[in-house]
């Protein structure tokens, strides 16, 4: 059994990790920390876990995380970088669900996240935890930077097109929509039911932290300069993310060839479902599951290709993807503990 | 492996059965029928099942259900009674999720459901599938009448009080609230998003079919005449049911005694969670799971006791409860395949 | 034109007052205060008001409210009592949408609201602003205690029954449901979209401040001791309130007599709609309007009468009712500025 | 008073017309037809209208629409073209909220709507009812083709850019999102609460009828060939539409110049609100009102300009826009009866 610790278990990615790990056949939940909730049984905060998770939160200084085999950080940016060096030194693997190790470029990190990076020496060894594009590196990693939710959809949607050199890398437009849980379990006016229900809006259109992360990763697959316009929107639903990805074709290619390309790329990816050409994936078809679904379109058979991508932002976009990485790091089946079927309706 | 057939798999209880049975360790999905959708792969209708359920719908006359060990009827009222006799004669166990066998009294059935009963001779042998109150009978049953969603909450909430003779059986008031999925996957104006979202209303206040079912079952536990006012309401949420049960105490009893009574009654029930006295169970704490949670209240320490009961109407209120019965009928662990943790948030 | 000031305009009752008063034909919006938002144009916070309300928030010490004809307090409990004495002394009428003057009994106020009352001498002169039951007193009032949202529905629903002596005043059960906006525009975890959407729960079942307010008001209409069990619930919708009121009949009465009683009581009330016997009012039929609708039921023609009452908690339950009082206090038509038709769908 | 008839009043645009016209100072509601609901009081179907609209539906053959001054068609495509010729001949003005007269090109109409056009001779005289771009023509019109909801947002967002020749007309991408009421009050599985709540998806990506309508109208303002990729999505909200419009700048222009351009174009448009550069308009800021709001963005100061446009699809996108046309046709103030402030929250 893998001994697992969770730092920061009071947010939505934290409780989602608990939901997944509590029934994972190879995991023993060992410690979960919270500065504020020291001593509180986890199930008192999250009644869905009553009878299933017996752990209580413990203050960070009381939890001996060095006895764990792996520690997940479901914390705000900046926490993992403070604790990761000591854990790694103690032989504990680290999976950070925040952004501390997502950008290889320290300056870029500090520009976008407005905090100094305290262990830039780890940036090189950190492995970006997108299993579909990085499986081998993850298998050998000690420190994982779990991808952002939006970047997961954008990378998996654009990657086959860029790698095959079929589209103009300089004019990508990603119009993305997220459920409200993406804002986290924070007491903020904008996330209130009465503010975000029965409403729709864009946000951070001038610039969002997930742009540099996505651009840097996509740049690995093409020599052309990647230029991405990324527009996030807020949808009045709890979970779910839908990315509508536009690209301009720069080569002659048939729809059948496009479809075959995507199917071939993801044929061994257990959590990517390439739907039939022209399908309309729905976010609810992934609700609570680690599946990401996508479908290709080409309006009027013109030179614009559209990739529609959906996932559950808390599972494939966060906690599920992190467990997927853990599975690979510990030599388990990639799908272990992650075969929940989506809740529909 | 138990060979399972499903009649009527295109509704919400049908797809929920599929979600549960597709990962049940002891089940082999064998046939699923639909008059309209003959030949359509199930996963084409419910994309959440893509890659997980390979079956296609088959027309009722093509599916040889007699080869199954058990057949679930996730159909409108009246279908199971037409097919159950032949299946039972062929040695196939039958679990009806509709109302055909819920009322022992044929006249009452015909009065409330407005159709003649075509196999009243089976009413006596049919076992009411509420495992918590009927476990032994279910274990030996061939024909199960799976309880209605509302009646499940009302029976489990009132039963300990009535059995202990603590309340006036003649003045029960059950104010119940259900998510919209309870209306089924039927194209009706009243169930449209634009009609039922951001809205709340009562319905069928003059009389609902779940009243006679509940009253008849509760009457088993008391000599007093049970009189129940049951008021159903529609909540703008997909899944979930919340019953607020009022009863007038007829004996002196302390809150501690009440709490102990409930805890004792349900200590061996894996799917009933008696929360601490004064708790406020939330429907979402059961979303997608087979758990039913309840908590006791006594406003102003007066003579009214309130039992708050929540469940997922499609799981413990329908498909999960049916699988729970199947487990008992086939000598499996009662919890087999039913340990999903609720999806929160 | 009536010069109107609003204290505390950054909450939901505040913006709702602005929506109503900005188009009121006899009103001139004069000042709106906010401690935190001094100088911010109101329409910057509430873009629905762009081009319609030119006022900016001003700090409480800068706004000369004594030049107003009437000041509305859309503030937390405790604010109005601090400022009302000076305003009243300056000849300014005061309408408090919070609870400072709702309870005539100072001890009861201090017990339920946990703050000392700083001007108990005003409690006697304060008029409870439920126009339907108190029209004349409101017309002559200088200080109005605007009713709570739940109490409005409970009083208007129970009043005809109690006044006519038809029901047992000692066993009233009010099962009430409110939209989330009732919790106000406060950054609290429990009011987040991800916490309250797709969910239903009861709260404060052990005791809620609206119980003593309702009981005290209802007691005016009967010599029997009023005993009320009041159970509030939270509905995943923004606006709307539905109260399901149970009472036990203590006299012989026909359904027609009950219906006639209610129709007669409210025939001159422009904002109370007595629907046909057996109707099921929907909250959305009042969304954005000052109408309150109700309908009577009597399940199985037994001795329980049910009154279903719906309103928009922010309009008839708060801001609209306050404007209705203002109209009466200034000799205007009771309906002036309040004839918006509900938004359906 | 203008005598108004409505054909097809049982849908959402019908009831929205009623909500607006019932309080319009210059209108007398004269007749409302419904094939199915002959004799039913309108307020029995839409309780929000109780006490406010006394009309009953009448069968089409019983209603003498020729006595009206203007008739609104809130019907499916194909109905208006059947009745308009006779009404126009009788001197009655006609406003069609469906698509019968939106496309000047008969062949294009028949291709996209799959029905023959029965009065193509009226296509030339029909005026496209987008007041902001067509005000004078509307003032003199007898027959109005009320614009589609999506096309309204796309035209008002792209128009200033195309007219000024600032962008590449051949690479417009419109990523649009609509509330569920856009699907109408029709009993269809896909519009059920349990199907569309807590879900997000694109639809009709391969081709939507609003593309040719928008392209044809936009083509009026540029000599370049307009090529538009239009991707509609369904949002789990009742009302509201958000269009995210992308265009590639083809000339040097500063953000200030862009902003000034839009402000100048719409300075006399009472229902277009150009928000500050970089703002994020929310659909709820238009809920129930005839306002359309927009804001400009330019990510990274690159060569992509984004116009965010929001409106209430049932008001400015349908019924409100139709009333706006009526006002102009009859020489009233453009804003008469249309000054409702949006419902927020």
- Is C156 contained in some domain? yes
Determine the 3-state secondary structure of D212 from DSSP: helix
Instruction: Tell which of B74, B93, B125 closes a domain.
Output: B125
Compute the residue count for chain A. Answer: 345
Per CB-CB distance under 8 Å, the chain A contacts of B46 are 344
Give the number of other CB atoms < 10 A from CB of residue C97. 28
Q: Do A180 and C197 touch (CB under 8 A)?
A: yes
Tally: H helices and E strands in chain D: 10, 13
Q: Do A23 and B341 touch (CB under 8 A)?
A: yes
- C-alpha neighbours within 13 Å on the C-beta side of residue A43: 15
The mean pLDDT of B42-70, rounded to a whole number, is 95
Note the pLDDT tens digit of each residue in D174-233.
999 999 999 999 999 999 999 999 999 999 999 899 999 999 999 999 999 999 999 999
For residue B296, the chain C residues in CB contact (below 8 A) are none
Residues C51, D273 contacting (CB under 8 angstroms): yes
Q: Is the pLDDT of residue A63 over 90?
A: no
The whole-number pLDDT of residue D294 equals 98
Which chains form contacts with chain B, at 3 or more CB pairs under 8 Å?
A, C, D
Classified as helix, coil or strand, A174 is: strand
Our answer to whether residue C325 is catalytic in this structure is no
Report which of B180, B181, B185, B183 is spatially closest to residue B198, judged by C-alpha positions.
B180
Residues in chain D: 345
pLDDT in tens, B101-153: 999 999 999 999 999 999 999 999 999 999 999 999 999 999 999 999 999 99
| Number of domains within chain D | 2
Q: What is the chain A residue with the closest CA to B276?
A: A44
On whether residue A119 sits in a domain, the answer given is: yes
Domain check: are D109 and D213 in the same one?
A: no
Tokens of B109: 């059935």
Neighbour tally for C35: CB within 10 Å: 14
Q: Is residue C57 part of a domain?
A: yes
Both B271 and B305 in one domain: the answer is yes
Give domain status of residue A167, yes or no.
yes
Tell me which residue of D179, D157, D131, D299 sits closest to D230, measured CA to CA. Answer: D157
- The continuous run of DSSP H or E covering D245 comes out as strand D241-248
Any residues with CB less than 8 A from the CB of A211 and at least 6 apart, and which?
A228, A230
Contact status of C198 with chain B (Cβ, < 8 Å): yes
Residue C301 and residue C170 in one domain: yes
- pLDDT confidence bin for C10, thresholds 50/70/90: very high
Range of the domain at A8: 2-125
- In this structure, are C99 and C169 located in the same domain? no
The alpha carbon of residue D259 and the mean position of all alpha carbons in its chain are separated, in whole angstroms, by 25
The pLDDT of residue C62 is 87
Chain D residues whose CB is inside 8 A of the A345 CB are 194-195
Using one digit for the tens of pLDDT, what is the confidence trace for A134-169?
Answer: 999 999 999 999 999 999 999 999 999 999 999 999
Q: Does D239 touch chain C (CB under 8 A)?
A: yes
Say yes or no: B27 and B93 in one domain: yes
Beta carbons of A273 and A245 less than 8 angstroms apart: no
Contact across the interface for D50 and C12, Cβ inside 8 Å = no
Beta carbons of D47 and C293 less than 8 Å apart:
yes
Closest CA to D41 of D65, D66, D18, D73: D18
**Is residue C64 one of the residues assigned to a domain?**
yes
Q: Say what the pLDDT of residue C343 is.
A: 98
| Stated pTM of the model | 0.97
Q: Are residues B118 and B163 in the same domain?
A: no
Give the closest-approach CA distance of B198 to chain C in angstroms. Answer: 4
Strand partners, B28: B3
- CB distance from B198 to chain A under 8 Å? yes
C154 part of a folded domain: yes
Burial class of residue A302, CB neighbours in 10 A (0-12, 13-18, 19+): exposed
Determine the distance from the C-alpha atom of residue D44 to the mean position of all C-alpha atoms in its chain, rounded to a whole number. 27
Q: C182 with C306, same domain?
A: yes
Same domain, yes or no, for D15 and D97?
Answer: yes
**Average of per-residue pLDDT values in chain C:** 97
Boundary of a domain, candidates B89, B110, B125: B125
Instruction: Return d(Cα A22, Cα A10) in angstroms, integer.
Output: 15
A160 shares its domain with A302: yes
Same structural domain, A160 and A272: yes
Using the Cβ of B313 and the Cβ atoms of chain D, whether some distance falls under 8 Å is answered with no
**Ramachandran quadrant class, D84 (left: phi over 0; alpha: psi -120 to 50; beta: rest):** alpha
Is the pLDDT score of C158 beyond 90? yes
Q: Which of C199, C283, C297 sits opposite B237 (nearest CB)?
A: C199
Judge contact between D274 and D294, C-beta under 8 A: yes
> Mean pLDDT throughout A312-328?
98
Complex ipTM: 0.97
Residue D160 and residue D215 in contact, taking contact as beta carbons nearer than 8 Å: no
Q: Are B229 and C302 in contact (CB under 8 A)?
A: yes
Residues C111, C156, single domain; the answer is no
Query: Residues A149, A234: contact at Cβ < 8 Å?
Result: no
What are the pLDDT digits (tens) for C312-336? 999 999 999 999 999 999 999 999 9
Q: Mention every residue, 6+ apart, whose C-beta is less than 8 A from residue B12.
A: A345, B181, B184, B185, B314, D194
Same domain, D193 and D309: yes
CB A294 within 8 A of CB A273: yes
> Are C199 and B238 within 8 A, CB to CB?
no
Question: Is C207 an interface residue toward B (CB < 8 Å)?
Answer: yes
Which residues 124-163 in chain C show a CB within 8 A of chain B?
none
Contact A47 B293 (CB under 8 A): yes
pLDDT in tens, A12-37: 999 999 999 999 999 999 999 998 99
Q: What phi, psi does A9 have (nearest 5°)?
A: -95, 10
Give pLDDT, residue D337: 97
Is residue A229 over pLDDT 90?
yes
In a domain, C342, yes or no: no
Question: CB contact, 8 Å: C201 with chain B?
Answer: yes
Interface contact flag, A185 C197, Cβ < 8 Å = no
Residue A326, in any domain of the structure: no
CA distance C232 to B160: 25
C-alpha distances out from residue A175 to A211, B201, D172, D294, Å: 12, 37, 14, 17
Task: Check: CB of residue A236 under 8 Å from CB of residue B342.
Answer: no
Question: Which whole number is the average pLDDT over B199-206?
Answer: 97
D14: domain CATH number?
3.40.50.720
The pLDDT score that the predictor gives to residue A153 is 98
Which residues does chain D have with pLDDT short of 50?
Answer: none
Other C-beta atoms lying within 10 Å of the C-beta of residue B168: 16
Active site (catalytic) residues of D? 149
Partners of B297 on chain C (C-beta within 8 Å) are 205-206
Which residue in the set C192, C198, C237 is minimally distant from A192, CB to CB? C192
Closest to A119 in 3D by CA, of A91, A82, A65: A82
Beta-carbon separation of A23 and B47 below 8 A: no
The pLDDT confidence band at residue C61, using thresholds 50, 70 and 90, is confident
How high is the pLDDT of residue D142?
98
Q: What is the pLDDT of residues D24-46, one digit of tens each?
A: 999 999 999 998 999 999 999 99
Cis previous bond, B226, omega within 30: no
- Please work out, in degrees rounded to the nearest 5, the angle formed at the alpha carbon of residue C76 by the alpha carbons of C73 and C80: 40
pLDDT at C63: 85
| Both tokens assigned to B170 | 């003649």
């Amino acid at each position: 059994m893998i001994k697992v610790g969770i730092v920061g278990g009071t947010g939505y990615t934290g409780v989602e990790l608990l939901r997944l790990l509590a029934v994972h056949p190879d995991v023993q939940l060992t410690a979960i920390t919270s500065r504020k909730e020291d001593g509180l049984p986890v199930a008192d905060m999250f009644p869905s876990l009553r009878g299933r998770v017996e752990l209580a939160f413990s203050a960070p200084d009381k939890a001996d995380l060095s006895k764990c085999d792996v520690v997940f950080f479901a914390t705000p940016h900046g926490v993992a970088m403070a604790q990761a060096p000591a854990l790694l030194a103690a032989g504990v693997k680290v999976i950070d669900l925040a952004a501390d190790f997502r950008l290889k470029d320290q300056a870029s990190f500090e520009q976008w996240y407005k905090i100094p990076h305290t262990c830039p020496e780890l940036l090189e060894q950190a492995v970006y935890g997108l299993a579909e594009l990085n499986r081998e590196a993850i298998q050998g990693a000690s420190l994982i930077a779990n991808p952002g939710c939006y970047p997961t959809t954008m990378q998996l949607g654009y990657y086959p097109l860029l790698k095959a050199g079929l589209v103009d890398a300089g004019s990508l437009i990603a119009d993305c929509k997220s459920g409200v849980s993406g804002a986290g379990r924070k007491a903020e006016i904008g996330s209130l039911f009465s503010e975000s229900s029965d409403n729709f809006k864009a946000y951070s259109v001038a610039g969002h932290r997930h742009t540099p992360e996505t651009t840097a990763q996509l740049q690995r697959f093409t020599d052309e300069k990647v230029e991405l316009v990324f527009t996030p929107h807020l949808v009045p639903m709890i979970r779910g993310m839908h990315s509508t990805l536009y690209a301009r074709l720069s080569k002659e290619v048939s729809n059948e060839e496009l479809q075959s390309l995507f199917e071939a790329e993801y044929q061994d990816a257990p959590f990517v479902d390439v739907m039939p050409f022209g399908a309309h994936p729905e976010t609810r078809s992934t609700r609570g599951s680690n599946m990401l679904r996508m479908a290709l379109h080409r309006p009027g058979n013109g030179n614009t290709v559209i990739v529609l991508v959906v996932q559950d932002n808390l599972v494939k976009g966060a906690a599920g993807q992190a467990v997927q990485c853990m599975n690979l790091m510990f030599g388990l089946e990639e799908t272990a503990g992650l075969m929940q079927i989506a809740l529909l309706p």
